[in-house]
């Protein structure tokens, strides 16, 4: 996942912190309405040195970044859940083995 993010030009998707920060302000302002004329116009107003095509390309890279982040979060949660399930299974197995050992010990003591 992290390699994919880096291949997408990192967290800022190839832009400097200031430009990407201004872009994010527009993303927040417009919510999920990224493909509207209003969104594009607002981006062009705050990013005066960047043209519409550059904003469009950056938006596509940002979507890829967001997809990587979503997938990464999903996989981390799945890993944590699996790890917790495995730990519970180990504890249950150890408890079962302990009961079996005690049972065998009791049989040996009663036979003696």
Q: Which domain holds residue 101?
A: 2-111
DSSP-H helix ranges across the chain: 2-7, 17-30, 37-46, 52-111
The structure tokens listed for 112 are: 């003696």
Distance from C-alpha of 48 to C-alpha of 13, rounded to nearest angstrom = 18
How many domains in the chain?
Answer: 1
* Nearest Cα residue to 14 out of 65, 52, 51: 65
pTM, to two decimals: 0.63
Distance from C-alpha of 12 to C-alpha of 59, rounded to nearest angstrom = 11
Q: Along the 112 residues of the chain, how does pLDDT read in single tens digits?
A: 455 445 555 677 888 999 999 999 999 999 878 889 999 999 999 999 999 999 999 999 999 888 888 888 989 888 898 989 888 888 888 777 776 667 767 777 777 6
């Amino acid at each position: 996942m992290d390699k994919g993010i880096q291949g997408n030009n990192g967290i800022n998707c190839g832009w400097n912190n200031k430009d990407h920060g201004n872009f994010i302000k527009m993303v927040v302002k417009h919510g999920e309405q990224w493909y509207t004329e209003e969104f594009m116009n607002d981006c062009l107003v705050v990013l005066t040195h960047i043209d519409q095509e550059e904003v469009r390309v950056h938006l596509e890279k940002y979507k890829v970044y967001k997809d990587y982040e979503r997938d990464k979060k999903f996989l981390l949660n799945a890993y944590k859940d699996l790890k917790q399930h495995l730990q519970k299974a180990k504890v249950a197995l150890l408890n079962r083995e302990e009961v079996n050992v005690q049972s065998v010990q009791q049989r040996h003591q009663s036979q003696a």
